[in-house]
Amino acid sequence: MDNCLFCKIAAKQIPSSVVYEDDELMAFKDIHPAAPVHLLVIPKIHVPTLSECDASHTVLLGKMLALAPRLAAEHGCAVSYDADGVPAGGYKTLINTGPDGGQEVYHLHLHMYGGPRPWRGQR
């Protein structure tokens, strides 16, 4: 897509802080982080929103979500358990979809927020 910000990031026409890349996906740091760790996972192909996805996108969507635990481990926010089994760490994954979903960039992306709270606008 000609005028898509995240297509340009995927094509390296616009710089970003890339933290992961393979043939299908890229992950980079959000330019306005809302948490100590705030990453965006995108497909390299242009898909405007989750609303355009169907069963043919199942593998792609699965790969996007399955990347989150790896990124979490690499950025210090994986879930861990103490000797009593009490969990610590963790992160939030989010896909904003359309205007009512709060989407601003119309290229499918998965937000990944992590790190110690409070986060911007959240406890």
- Pick the closest to residue 88 from 100, 101, 76 (CA basis): 76
C-beta neighbour count of 89 within 10 angstroms = 15
**Has 109 been annotated as catalytic?**
yes
Nearest position to Zn ion, beta carbon:
4
Q: CB under 5 to 8 A by kind: which of Zn ion, ligand AMP, none does 123 bind?
A: none
Q: Which conformational region is residue 12 in: left (phi greater than 0), alpha (psi within -120 to 50 degrees), or beta?
A: left
Minimal distance, residue 108 CB to ligand AMP, in Å: 10
Residue 72 or 113: which CB sits closer to ligand AMP? Answer: 113
C-beta neighbour count of 112 within 10 angstroms = 27
Residue 54 or 82: which CB sits closer to Zn ion? Answer: 54
Residue type, 30: D
Q: CB under 5 to 8 A by kind: which of ligand AMP, Zn ion, none does 32 bind?
A: ligand AMP
Minimal distance, residue 54 CB to ligand AMP, in Å: 21
Among 30, 33, 36, 46, binds Zn ion (CB under 5 A): 46
Query: Which residues on adjacent β-strands are paired with residue 111?
Result: 40, 94
105 in Cβ contact with 98 (< 8 Å): no
Q: CB under 5 to 8 A by kind: which of Zn ion, ligand AMP, none does 30 bind?
A: ligand AMP
Please identify every residue annotated as catalytic. Answer: 109
